[in-house]
Amino acid sequence: MVLKSIRFSGLAATLLFLFSLPLSAEAGEAPASDQPGRAQLSSTFLLGQKDLSAPVPTTAYFPPADSGKTLNRFEGRLSLIQPIKKGHARRVKDDGRLKKRTLKIGQLPPLDAAFVQSGNDIIPLLRGPQASSHPYWEWILEPGKVWDEPDDQGYSRVSMPFSLQERNQNCTHHGMLSFLFRSDGSVSRMAYQVLSETCLWLMADLWGVLEVSYTPGEVPAADAVIERYREEMAHRLPVKLIESLTKDYPGVNPAHLVPKSPEYATIWGVITNGTHYIGGCQTRYGTYPFCQLLDLPSYSTAKSVFAGLALMYLERLYPGVSNEQVSDWIPECVLKDERWKDVRLQDLVNMTSGLYNSKSYMKDEGAITQSDFIQGDTHQLKVKFACRHYKRHREAGQYWVYHTSDSYLAGLMMNRFLRKKSGADKDIFNDLLSAGILQKLHLSPVTESTRRTYDELQQPYTGYGLTYHPDDIARIARWLNEDEGKLDGTEVLDPLLFNAAMQRSEHRSIDPLAAMQLDYRYGFWAANAGPWVGCAREVWVPFMSGFGGITVALLPNDTVYYYFSDSNIFNWAAAVGELHKIRSLCAH
């Protein structure tokens, strides 16, 4: 069995997890003393020459609860010094798709990044996936902590979360790094570990010690970066451990909220009455030190958050756009056999284009030929597959077949429509979804990036490729579920499309989903949870779903349940049954 985590007993595990949040005072505080395992990353080690022969417990990266003012202040650039080939990698699980590639998964990408310190926080200037020359990995840098310890020889200590996200993909591997520095530019080696992931096909431990350089200097826009980070922290939902649900809602058993195969689970949570209850956040060597800064891949939840919401927003601005036809906006799809004739934008988002090779559930999406689309990293490769690969079998709108390539075409079509209406420099993600919705929700900067083609066009993938923090997905889901997609009380989403997606209008599943008690509307799934909780009527629960084992369920009792995993299991009926105890689903 592949284990996602090792287990800590009782109080130790709870204290370590609490330290990563922070949580309410009611939940407790982490110990202020030196963390167990720090000796393995002592100043003697970091300033020395010895190799890190194996990963160390994550406790070595935990900052103290009460840090205090530091002797040194970090502002400037941190760079990896070549060669960066040193490092270790151990594949824990590999489905074989990487074996034919000459990819150096054990090597980190080049790094040259600016950071600024505010109090005990160290904040990177750039957030979100950063393109690099590495054949496999791209950095995601996150804010960390700076503090002093008596044995660090006048240096200040940094611990910082980061992720490695697969180039052109959404697989995300969760890491942490640590080093010592002085204000004059003196710096130790950097120790790093990558010990968990949200990735179905590759699980690997990466670790090592690398030479770095620190160039002190004024960072442009430092004040704006600090202010943005403070705003980000201020808008987070209050957080508690998921075990607190038992106290807050007697009768609720948090054990029933743990995803199936928890050894493969990254994180899970519940949002109810304005509080975010979090579980999981484990690695193979202990608790992840910065749980709320954990980078989570969207995979196909982007079909909801990007394709679905962008269409609803665009329809609100330009009524009727959902009925625009593919052949009028995507000449690459104008073919001699007219297979795209009468296919509308909403058909692409609904997966009802009428084009497919197999009508069997998910057979097209799982076909080996699908890799031509997924691995294609230019617009030319993706649009050729999307327009030409599937044959016409039904009239548009009559039959559901899941195609990520249809989501790509929807994003392309919306981009071209927006540019014609608002200007050639407009972008459906940056100028509509991000600026119009995500930034107004005060989400983290990591949500302001999306996967794009690696060419001059930089077309957004639309159907996958977003990244979230736990708080981001919690607040997006809560905004949809409780605020009904309104910003400051104002509708920004077309009500007809939104109500259909949220199952607030007449229900009408389309084949073949009807027989499975499922539905799919405007990028959002739905399941009939009535039988799960014993209701006498149908209770349709909209949810977002992502490759590998990702679910975000919007329960009609104003409760959200989510989990991110790489178990490839999509079974959350037990969790719905448990949350039914908070407020009856049958009454909604």
Q: How confident is the model at residue 3 (pLDDT cuts 50, 70, 90)?
A: very low
| Residue 218: φ, ψ to 5° | -65, 130
pLDDT at res. 102:
44
Please say if the pLDDT value at position 462 is more than 90: yes
- What mean pLDDT comes out for the span 24-46? 60
Q: Report the relative pairing of strands 202-210 and 190-198 from DSSP bridges.
A: antiparallel
Cα–Cα distance between 100 and 282 in angstroms, integer?
Answer: 31
* pLDDT reported for residue 502: 97
The pLDDT assigned to 15 comes to: 34
What does the pLDDT look like over 246-280, one tens digit per residue?
999 999 999 999 999 999 999 999 999 999 999 99
Q: What is the pLDDT of residues 332-378, one digit of tens each?
A: 999 999 999 999 999 999 999 999 999 999 999 999 999 999 999 99
pLDDT score for 165: 97
Structure tokens that stand for 160 in this block: 């910082």
- Quick one: angle between helices 404-422 and 379-388, nearest 10? 110
Amino acid of residue 584:
S
pLDDT of residue 98 exceeding 70: no
pLDDT tens across 304-318, in order? 999 999 999 999 999
For range 169-191, the mean pLDDT: 97
Residue 506 is predicted with a pLDDT of: 83
Sign of CA dihedral 578, 443, 302, 495: positive
pLDDT value at residue 27: 29
pLDDT, tens digit (0-9, with 9 covering 90-100), for 211-247: 999 999 999 899 999 999 999 999 999 999 999 999 9
| pLDDT, tens digit (0-9, with 9 covering 90-100), for 497-542 | 999 999 999 878 899 999 999 999 999 999 999 999 999 999 999 9
The whole-chain average pLDDT of the chain stands at 91
Dist CA 295 CA 468 (whole Å): 6
Model pLDDT, residue 14: 33
Query: Mean of the pLDDT values across residues 87-93?
Result: 89
Residue 29 predicted with pLDDT over 60:
no
What does the buried/exposed string (b/e) look like for 189-203 if buried means 16 or more CB atoms within 10 Å of the residue's CB? bbbbbbbbbbbbbbb
- Compute the average pLDDT of residues 401-416: 98
Residue 305 · residue 562 · CB < 8 Å: no
* Cis amide leading into 262 (omega within 30): no
Domains and CATH numbers, the chain: 32-234 (no CATH), 300-474 (3.40.710.10)
Buried b (16+ CB within 10 A) or exposed e, 212-237: bebebeebeebeebbebbeebeeebb
Of residues 312, 305, 313, 347, the one with CA closest to residue 329: 347
Which among 307, 533, 261 has a CA at the least distance from the CA of 411?
Answer: 307
Q: How confident is the model at residue 94 (pLDDT cuts 50, 70, 90)?
A: confident
The distance of Cα 134 from the centroid of its chain, to the nearest Å, equals 21
pLDDT, residue 516, reads 94
Q: Which residue has the tokens 């996967």?
A: 451
pLDDT of amino acid 87: 87
Distance CA 70, CA 57 (A): 25
Query: Residue 576 and residue 224: Cα distance in Å, rounded?
Result: 42
pLDDT at 156: 98
Among candidate residues 19, 23, 97, 99, the one with its CA nearest the CA of residue 65:
19
444-465 average pLDDT score: 97
* 71 within 8 A of 158, measured Cβ to Cβ: no
Coil, strand or helix at 152: coil
- Give first-to-last CA distance, the chain, whole Å: 41
pLDDT at 142 over 60: yes
Q: Is the pLDDT of residue 5 over 50?
A: no
Segment 137-154 shows an average pLDDT of 96
C-alpha angle 312-316-322 in degrees, rounded to nearest 5 = 55
Q: What integer pLDDT is reported at residue 105 of this predicted model?
A: 84
The pLDDT confidence band at residue 10, using thresholds 50, 70 and 90, is: very low
Mean pLDDT of 400-412: 98
Q: Which residue has the higher pLDDT, 31 or 560?
A: 560
**Long-range own/partner contacts, residues 497-506 (CB < 8 A, 24 or more apart):** 497/311, 497/312, 497/315, 497/322, 497/346, 497/522, 498/312, 498/522, 501/304, 501/308, 501/312, 501/542, 502/542, 502/554, 503/540, 503/541, 503/542, 503/556
Which among 218, 440, 410 has a CA at the least distance from the CA of 303? 410
CA distance 346 to 398: 12
Burial class of 547 by CB neighbour count within 10 A (0 to 12, 13 to 18, 19+): buried
Output the pLDDT for position 67.
85
pLDDT recorded at residue 104: 75
Q: Mean pLDDT across the stretch 426-444? A: 97
Distance CA 261, CA 215 (A): 45
Report percent pLDDT > 70 for the chain.
92
The C-alpha torsion from 525 through 401 and 351 to 513, rounded to 10°, is -40
Distance from C-alpha of 14 to C-alpha of 181, rounded to nearest angstrom: 30
Cα three-residue angle 262-265-269, rounded to 5 degrees:
100
The pLDDT score that the predictor gives to residue 35 is 60
Q: What is the mean pLDDT of residues 298-302?
A: 98
Taking every pair of Cα atoms in the chain, the longest distance, rounded to a whole number of angstroms, is 75
pTM metric for this prediction: 0.93
Cα-trace Rg, the chain? 24
Residue 101 has pLDDT above 60, yes or no: no
Q: How far apart are CA 74 and CA 146, in angstroms?
A: 9
d(CA 171, CA 470): 16
Residue % of the chain over a pLDDT of 90: 86
